Structure 1
């Protein structure tokens, strides 16, 4: 994980100097039109892909890293928002439980534990993905793409209901 963090840190500095043509609109539009979970999963990467196309040098390692990092931030913000809504819903469910079940772990605790378990899973899955590049220049973008994809999946898993 330390190695993955080092790669991501190295990518971040040059990206700040690059004029990325990034907007969240591609992903947002895709999500608005998608009618199923699978179709929504396919939206992950839409804005990053458009950024790579629109940014001069967008298909370079630095360009890819910058575009992917921006979309990762989009999904991370949406994940945090969905988690807050899901936690509020879980707490409401717990409050409505029969008295005989009040001492048992409820939905809020299960949600919290699930999210805490997901974070190391995501990190290890993406460290593995990065390792497939054997330290090559594609390692950083591969790790960021994985983080974005995993975060998108978790975001959609926690999408508000009811």
Structure 2
């Protein structure tokens, strides 16, 4: 069973980590929590849009790919949409597994692929107006190690 959620609600990491940690056969729980960082001095927030229905399908596919590559127990992927202030959480990826190497690799894979393939669009809101954000070259490069 996996948790996949796209929502404008805050991410409650404590409950997610408890859920990931429940299984006694798992010796590893790896989590990644991304937050909105200030790219520009006058940045106020980030606004995220997504393709409802398609986004969840893409996230499900990414998790399926991770399960094909590594031995994993539980996976949680939560992504926020809407208006998100600087320093607030925007994404959570959590993975449990019997071994840390599988959990670390899967969490990194999920995040790298999500950044490149999930249909999210980001708009930076600043005191000087709004600007749509393009994909970063570093994110595109990080995908190459997986395919």
TM-score by length of 2: 0.31
TM-score by length of 1: 0.29
Larger Rg: 1
Structure with higher helix content: 1
